[in-house]
Amino acid sequence: MKNNVASKRVCMIAMASYPGDPRIRRQAEALDEAGYEVDILCRYSGKQPPKERIGNVTAYRIMNAPSRENKIFYFLQSIVFLAVAFFRLLILSITKRYKVIQAHNLPDYLIFTGVFHKIFGVKLILDIHDPSVDLFEEKWPGKKNKALKFLMAKAEKYSCKLADKLITVTNTCKERLVERGNPPDKITLILNTANEGLFEFNSERRFREITNGVKLIYHGTIAERFGLHNVISAMPILLKDVPDSILNIYGRYEGSYLIKLKNLVSDLNLSENVNLNGRINREQIPSLINNHDIGIVPYLQTDYMNLSLPTKAFEYIAAGLPLVSTKLKDLYETFDDNCIKYIDESDPKQFAGAISFICFNPGLSKNRVEAAYQKLSEISGKVMKERYISLYDSLIYN
């Protein structure tokens, strides 16, 4: 039975790009390696073709990217995406006969694309990358959004009920889902760990005192809650201790925040020291990491951001790069002070001090890198991949 390709056809629904989204790509590639045939209903990113096959993974791109800055526009676009995905899935199912349908939030209600399929025995998985109720409160606080918050809470509740299994990304996210009435045994924890095939430990990295020109890197999503403004504000302080230092930022910017960062760079006269670079593909990241001295995770310490376990932190650790981070709850519980140089607040002075400490203490920095890498082996991408495939196999063969 396990050699029957038809029995291992699955479909993912994601209002994200493929192969641009690293979590979705990791999962799709893991399924491909395990002999599954994967279709993905997703959105366009740039000038991608409407249909693209990569190995046994086929991306069907059905809509352009929505705006996440305007909540009303995002909500309306998500409803359109849901409707288009619903009917496209019905058409594909005529010949594909999927065994599992996995929806990736946001939004949670994408799982309802599979509501009819569930009647005929198809298993549904909801992968909760971001707890939507908590994210909504983070981005749009206040009583004026009370009605939308109520709708988001109900959408999460009934989406989770419809799903046969839930996946989420941190222990704290799992705890929140259990608090909201979901059975613990329904939830599988799949951490956003690094791909060891792509991010190899750099055993040739030289740990030396850096008195000039330290190179800092951040890559990923760039919005207010990720705290890049605090690192930029730390640069004038850092430059007094470590002249000619460079901060390179790579990723996808929220429009209004990009304007704020540009103005901050200009106001602080940092045009020679801070580079606001654009997006990069996954294959470029390892070489960039190897060409920098310190990785930065400057997330604000809000209730929502403390739910996060940043993928970039795993990637920096996998590559053997020293790391400075705010003390996020799940990150600290996974990698303690022996692994990462933490600061207690998103404070520019603390950032500058932590970076200078790494520059001037290469021996301690090396010890942290080695301890973090050892800890990473316990929760590696291989471990998470095996857990993920076991979940799929249990739904299909049990």
pLDDT tens-digit map of 325-371: 999 999 999 999 999 999 988 899 999 999 999 999 999 999 999 99
Q: How many domains does the chain have?
A: 2
Residue ranges making up the domain that contains 105? 5-193+380-397
Q: Are 159 and 109 in contact, with CB atoms under 8 Å apart?
A: yes
118 and 245 belong to one structural domain:
no
Q: What's the pLDDT at 29?
A: 95
pLDDT on residue 281: 87
Q: What are phi and psi of 293, to 5 degrees?
A: -100, -30
Residues 371 and 392 in one domain: no
* 206 domain residue, yes or no: no
Q: Are residues 249 and 367 in the same domain?
A: yes
Residue 338, SS3? coil
Same structural domain for residues 157 and 280?
no
Q: What pLDDT, on a 0 to 100 scale, did the predictor assign at position 67?
A: 56
Which region, left, alpha or beta, applies to residue 210 given φ > 0 means left and ψ of -120 to 50 means alpha? beta
Q: Is 164 in the same domain as 21?
A: yes
Alpha carbon 105 to its chain's center: 12
Q: Would you say residue 49 lies in a domain?
A: yes
Residue 371: left if φ>0, alpha if ψ -120 to 50, beta else—which one? alpha
| 310 in the same domain as 269 | yes
209 assigned to some structural domain: no
Q: Which two tokens stand for residue 312?
A: 């970039």
Assess if residue 290 is contained within a domain: yes
Examine residue 278 and state whether it is found in any structural domain, yes or no: yes
pLDDT at position 3 is 46
Pick the closest to residue 327 from 342, 306, 312, 349 (CA basis). Answer: 342
Q: What angle, 0 to 180 degrees and rounded to 10, lies between the N-to-C axes of helices 381-397 and 22-33?
A: 60
207 lies in some domain: no
The 8-class DSSP code of residue 142 comes to: S
List of the chain residues with pLDDT < 50? 1-3
Asked if residue 311 belongs to a domain, the reply is yes
The DSSP-derived string for 294-336 is: EEEE-----TTGGG---HHHHHHHHTT--EEEE--HHHHHHS-
In total, the chain counts a number of residues equal to 398
Q: To which residue do tokens 């996954």 refer?
A: 282
Are 371 and 384 found together in one domain? no
> Rounded to an integer, what distance in angstroms lies between the CA atom of residue 32 and that of residue 315?
22
Q: What is the 3-state secondary structure (H, E, C) of 169-219?
A: CCHHHHHHHHHCCCCHHHEEECCCCCCCCCCCCCCCCCCCCCCCCCEEEEE
Task: Verify that 226 and 308 share a domain, yes or no.
Answer: yes
Does residue 262 sit in the same domain as residue 130? no
Is 207 within 8 Å of 365 (Cβ atoms)? Answer: yes
Strand pairing class (165-168; 100-104): unpaired
User: What's the Cα-to-Cα distance from 236 to each of 15, 57, 270, 355, 371, rounded to whole Å?
Assistant: 39, 47, 8, 13, 31
The answer to whether residue 156 is domain-embedded is: yes
238 with 183, same domain: the answer is no
CATH of the domain at 359: 3.40.50.2000
Residue 4 pLDDT: 57
Q: How far apart are CA 196 and CA 333, in angstroms?
A: 22
Considering the domain architecture, whether residues 220 and 369 belong to the same structural domain is answered as yes
- 121 & 63 share domain: yes
